[in-house]
Amino acid sequence: MKRIIIGTAGHIDHGKTTLVKALTGVDTDRLKEEQQRGITIELGFAPFQLPGGQKAAIIDMPGHERFIKHMLAGAFGVDLVLFTVAADEGIMPQSREHMDIIELLGVEKGVVVLTKTDLVDEEWQMLVEEEVREFIDGTILRGAPIVPVSALKKEGLDQVIAWVEKIAEEVEEKPAFGHMRLPVDRVFTVAGFGTVVTGTLWSGQIQVGDQLELMPLQKPVRVRNIQVHNDRVTKAYAGQRVAVNIQGVDLADIKRGYLLATPGFLTPTFRIDTKLRLLSSSPRTLKNWNRVRFHLGTDECLGRVVLLDRDELLPGEEAFAQLVMEKPVVAYKGDPFVIRYYSPVTTIGGGIVIDGNAPKQKRFREDVLEQLAVKEEGSLYDHVLQELETKKENPVLLEELIKKIGAGEEEVMAELQQLQQDEKAILLGATPATYISCQGVDQVYGKIQVTLDAFHRKNPLRPGYSKEDLRSRLFPRLAAKDFNNLLKHLEKNGRLEGRGNFLRLSGFTPSLTPLQEEAREQIRNTLVREGFVPPSPETLREETGMGEKDFQELFTYMLEQGDVVKVTEGIFFAREVIGQGKEMMRQFFAAQPEMTLAEARDLFNTTRKFALPLVEYYDRIRFTRRIGDGRVLLPEK
């Protein structure tokens, strides 16, 4: 069976509550003041079972203009509307405002109920029925059935039920899988149980024991008990009226307008991007930075309208706009919303959320408008690509993409795979799944290329630029893991070369000038000639006559090329001398099983200052091994 929410709508005293009681047997006017005054002030709720077994819930919404904000709290999430018009009055101001709200929220299925027919004669009823038909033909309910009813005489109720049952078959159910959202419309306590919230479950499902998040407080709570249609259950699904007993929050800390959601799914924000429409019937235009009342779900918030492509929105027009709130709100892509003028309070428009957590947008920017157009009307492929390209050189987590785009994981993954095949995106890391656009990769490479090119020209002998220095200088906000994965991708594609901790442009080879080559030979010859009593780098520099910076660069190059071997801080041997020492030791060990440090010193005809670091170097490269005060030769692999 489907899960269906039915809402009443219509002018005050047009028989909504009486109709609900006649259909369900439940008087939804539960407050003493409502019963005394004979008007609905707060939202009322009643379970409703259709003859075919279909279970539904009816939300009885107040009709008085002073309680429109309560009506709005109930209207979000409605699948089908019972639009009431009293036969003795016809279309009235709140009839029109309620219809505007229904249209803005996209509630396109319903039954028009002509109530109180027992108060008028047949001729008057026909006149009013014609007026009603003419009215609804210009609205979202055009073509809806009009059913005359006298709730007091129980006339026409069967026809209402029959139409509701028929139309209910056409209702598209809310998604019962994926992330859960429950806007809170009532909060109270039950002795022995604690805090209870009620609302219409918009998406997903709730199960006893679930850990949820109370938004916008971002406070963790746990589900203790659940009721649906006054029956205790262990699980509730989207499209049901739900009462949830929660632990972890006090009654004073929660109110209508808050939201229960899957943890980590939503983010409170002060800015949302929208496609905003001003009603044709709006008595006012909307100017940039006008203050409005924003309604989404059960929440109401004051905010300012930033018109992104004009200075004034006229009745009947629509435009991209950013709403800047005065308190944090929680919105999701595709959510419908309603705006009312700040003062006097009248419903003037509404629209659809395009980005529920938007950055500050600049007005009259073509790129901003194009991005919003893609988010609104573009394919999921276009939207995923745009989100990646908008992040530029910053990789995006898969879970962030899903959250931002407002689509299911499988759908987003399918588009990401296609983007990879089209060479427009790459999977940068598998755990957690992280993606970046190829445009973003090009931007990263472009910055690195410019930096390395300048570095190579200025330092032709250096092996490359330190990877970590490059990241901290060019991409300080990029995580080291993501940066290293980007470098691996660029190296794999032959655009860069990595050498240890250094990075250089592909094809770059350090090269010497003739004078540098001459100095290199001089240094090498000196180190070979002096053998196991090598001069210090400072002595070598003085012999070459080079400046300190130029010498250091050349000496570093010789270390990289293997001309010189560093055995310890400040002591360097020629490569040939290192090889000669190994051969001398092999000959020694051919006759003796062990060598002391003194024997090594005498063998190399050097001093302890050079002998000790040299034999320790041979230990490090696993040519020899120290045992007690001596060394033994290790088998060569």
What pLDDT digit, counting tens, does each position of 604-613 carry? 999 999 999 9
Cα dist from 161 to 47, 59, 110, whole Å? 14, 16, 12
Query: What would the mean pLDDT of 570-589 be, rounded to a whole number?
Result: 96
pLDDT at 21 over 80: yes
Q: Given this structure, which CATH class describes domain 181-261? A: mainly beta
pLDDT in tens, 55-66: 899 988 875 555
**Residue 203 per-residue DSSP state:** B
Residue 243, Cβ density class (10 Å: 0-12 exposed, 13-18 middle, ≥19 buried):
buried
Annotated domain spans of the chain: 4-168, 181-261, 269-367, 378-506, 514-633
Q: Both tokens of residue 24?
A: 């369900």
Residue 396's nearest CA partner among 380, 412, 410, 408 is 412
Q: Can you give the pLDDT at residue 74?
A: 75
Confidence of residue 227 (pLDDT cuts 50, 70, 90): very high
pLDDT at 7 over 70: yes
Q: Can you give the pLDDT at residue 114?
A: 98
Query: What would the mean pLDDT of 392-418 be, rounded to a whole number?
Result: 91
CB 378 within 8 A of CB 275: no
Residues in the chain, how many?
637
Phi, psi of 506 (to 5 degrees): -60, 130
Q: Mean pLDDT lowest for which of 17-26, 34-43, 135-144, 321-330?
A: 34-43
- Helix, strand, coil percentages (3-state) for the chain, rounded to 5, are 35, 30, 35
| Domains 181-261 and 269-367 equal at CATH topology level | yes
Residue 534's nearest CA partner among 592, 577, 490 is 577
Cα 233 to Cα 73: distance, rounded to the nearest angstrom: 25
pLDDT at 70 over 80: no
Burial letters for 72-99: b for 16+ Cβ neighbours within 10 Å, e otherwise?
bbbbbbbbbbbbbbbbbbbbbebbbbbb
Burial letters for 123-162: b for 16+ Cβ neighbours within 10 Å, e otherwise?
eebeebbeebeebbeebbbeebbbbbbbbeeeebbeebbe
State the chain's maximal CA–CA distance in angstroms: 131
β 146-148/110-115 pair status: parallel
CATH number of 378-506: 1.10.10.10
Query: Was domain 4-168 assigned CATH 3.90.1150.10?
Result: no
Whole-prediction pTM value?
A: 0.76
pLDDT at 129 over 70: yes
Q: Can you give the pLDDT at residue 77?
A: 87
Confidence of residue 634 (pLDDT cuts 50, 70, 90): very high
Cα 544 to Cα 512: distance, rounded to the nearest angstrom: 15
Confidence of residue 39 (pLDDT cuts 50, 70, 90): very low
What SS3 class is residue 635?
Answer: coil
Q: Both tokens of residue 475?
A: 């991409």
- Residues 6 or more apart from 36 whose CB is under 8 A from it? none
pLDDT at 398 over 90: yes
Sheet holding 425-430, edge to edge: 396-397, 433-437, 425-430
**Dihedral sign for Cα atoms in the order 138, 144, 145, 147:** negative
What SS3 class is residue 495?
Answer: coil
Q: Both tokens of residue 374?
A: 């893609």
Residue 1, Cβ density class (10 Å: 0-12 exposed, 13-18 middle, ≥19 buried):
exposed
Cα 234 to Cα 223: distance, rounded to the nearest angstrom: 10
Query: What would the mean pLDDT of 511-516 be, rounded to a whole number?
Result: 87
Q: Can you give the pLDDT at residue 41?
A: 41
Residues of the chain with pLDDT > 70, as a percent, come to 97
Query: What would the mean pLDDT of 409-424 be, rounded to a whole number?
Result: 95
Cα 489 to Cα 68: distance, rounded to the nearest angstrom: 57
Q: Which amino acid is at 601?
A: R
pLDDT at 430 over 80: yes
pLDDT in tens, 93-110: 999 999 999 999 999 999
Cα 634 to Cα 611: distance, rounded to the nearest angstrom: 19
Query: What would the mean pLDDT of 608-631 be, rounded to a whole number?
Result: 95
Sheet holding 624-627, edge to edge: 595-596, 630-633, 624-627
Pick the CATH number of 514-633 from 1.10.10.10, 3.40.50.300, 1.10.760.10, 3.40.50.2300: 1.10.10.10
Q: Can you give the pLDDT at residue 33?
A: 44
Query: What would the mean pLDDT of 151-160 be, rounded to a whole number?
Result: 94
Q: Which helix (H) or strand (E) holds 46?
A: strand 44-49
CB 349 within 8 A of CB 278: yes
Cα 528 to Cα 12: distance, rounded to the nearest angstrom: 105
Residue 386's nearest CA partner among 398, 399, 375 is 375
Confidence of residue 30 (pLDDT cuts 50, 70, 90): low
CB 572 within 8 A of CB 564: yes
Query: What would the mean pLDDT of 528-553 be, rounded to a whole number?
Result: 94
Distance of CA 351 to the CA centre of its chain: 21
Q: Can you give the pLDDT at residue 29?
A: 62
Cα 298 to Cα 280: distance, rounded to the nearest angstrom: 25
Query: Was domain 269-367 assigned CATH 2.40.30.10?
Result: yes
Query: What would the mean pLDDT of 438-464 be, rounded to a whole number?
Result: 92
Distance of CA 399 to the CA centre of its chain: 7
